[in-house]
Amino acid sequence: MSESAVRVVVSPSLSEGYDRRYVVVDAATGEVIDDSLGYGYKTAQNAHRARAYKSMSPQKKRQRDTVKNGVRRWCEKHSEFMADIERAMFYALKDGEAFTEADVTALLKDHCLQPPFTVKELMRHW
């Protein structure tokens, strides 16, 4: 089933008052494809996100897992750098500031490190 053959709609049976619940349905038949174990999704965005995740190809899943495992191995290998990252994150949180990609990039330059993946992937999977 292609991604265009589904729609996200409000479910009248799962919604109560102002608490709307969304389900994924087949656009042609109207059959419910995914209803989050009978509870429905709180937002249409969450329903779309779940559908995209559940319909992801095995090749894409393997690629995502490969990157994730690579980041984790790199982090274990560079434990001193990761300790500095955690310390910087702690102080940023304590000061009420955001810890951004620019901060991680600066720390990578301070440690003279060039990881085999992007800073965004590092921040997502560490």
Distance CA 113, CA 107 (A): 9
Amino acid at 70: G
Contacts of 92 (CB under 8 A, 6+ apart): 98, 99, 103
The pTM assigned to this predicted structure is 0.68
CB atoms within 10 A of CB 25: 19
pLDDT at 47: 97
Which tokens hold the place of 118?
């992007």
pLDDT at 3: 55
Contacts of 34 (CB under 8 A, 6+ apart): 23, 24, 47, 50, 51, 54
Distance CA 69, CA 61 (A): 12
pLDDT at 70: 96
pLDDT in tens, the chain (126 residues): 455 699 999 999 999 999 999 999 999 999 999 999 999 999 999 999 999 999 999 999 999 999 999 999 999 999 999 999 999 999 999 999 999 999 999 999 999 999 999 999 999 998
Question: Where are the chain's structural domains?
Answer: 3-54, 58-125
pLDDT at 77: 97
Nearest by Cα to 93 from 78, 108, 81, 103: 103
